[in-house]
Amino acid sequence: MPPTKQRVQVTLDVELAAAVAEFGGQEPRSQAIRDLALRGAEAIRAERAARGDARDHLRRIATGADDRYDFSVSEELHASR
């Protein structure tokens, strides 16, 4: 009977083998690879969200919507160089 869920083939290169050895513990290798993939996806999502937040913050500063940034202080610091 064929599996009900699709499978993927992954080459166990040096880097992946090291990660599986380090974080896999006593789990079956396929479970360790699954866990690494899910945690990696979570980390990538968090990184993208942080980048988006940073862009939004810079846009607020640039448009004057965030008045906590004092351009005159920055100007003085650059002038004193």
Question: In the structure encoding, which two tokens stand for residue 41, read together?
Answer: 């996806």
One-letter amino acid identity for 37? A
User: Cα separation of 27 and 12, whole Å?
Assistant: 16
- State pTM to two decimals: 0.71
CB 39 within 8 A of CB 32: no
- The predicted structure's pLDDT at residue 21: 92
In the predicted structure, residue 58 carries a pLDDT above the cut 80 = yes
Q: What was the pLDDT predicted at 81?
A: 83
Could you read off the pLDDT of 8-44 as tens digits, one per residue?
A: 999 999 999 999 999 888 889 999 999 999 999 999 9
